[in-house]
Amino acid sequence: MKVTRFDPNDTLIIVTARIWGPHGDKHLSLALDTAATQTHVVPEFLDEIGYGPQHGDQITSVTSAIGNEPGYMMPVSRFSALGFTLTDFRLHVHDLPETLGIQGLLGLSFLRQFDYEIRSAEGRILTSRI
């Protein structure tokens, strides 16, 4: 079992993730979001490690309170969060409001592969592989 800590006083549950790309790897901050079916990352972050729209394999859109946001799906070579690393992991790439201060959302496309328990008062996420 892996334990990931987060700030229980923050308005979002923020976790650190890591993505490997053609030009290296980079850490990013993601909001854990059990209502998001996919794991989302903003395009600017992926540009920095060598990924872009040419790596996408499906055009998508996300409906939010501000309207439809265009995006795309793409695989990344490696993705790590909550103490676990997956290879050939698919991400949904689209913009998020900059005011959130995050580079994306850790959604069910990642979370479904694990059993996890969120202990909000303690500021801990307990995660184990299914």
User: What mean pLDDT is reported for the chain?
Assistant: 94
Helix (H) or strand (E) holding 22: none
Q: Give the integer Cα–Cα distance in Å for 27 and 70.
A: 24
Question: Residue 65: which pLDDT band, with cuts at 50, 70 and 90?
Answer: low
Question: Residue 18: which pLDDT band, with cuts at 50, 70 and 90?
Answer: very high
Report the greatest alpha carbon distance in the chain.
43
Question: Residue 99: which pLDDT band, with cuts at 50, 70 and 90?
Answer: confident
Q: What is the pTM of this model?
A: 0.92
Residue ranges making up the domain that contains 95: 2-129
Helix (H/G/I), strand (E/B), else coil: 25: strand
Q: Give the integer Cα–Cα distance in Å for 8 and 30.
A: 15
Q: List pLDDT tens digits, range 52-62.
A: 999 989 998 87
Tell me: pLDDT of 17 over 90.
yes
CATH of residue 118's domain is 2.40.70.10
Which of 21-25, 61-65, 113-117 shows the lowest mean pLDDT across its residues? 61-65
Q: Classify burial at 118, counting beta carbons within 10 Å of its beta carbon; exposed 0-12, middle 13-18, buried 19 or more.
A: middle
Q: Looking at the 3D structure of the chain, how many domains does it have?
A: 1
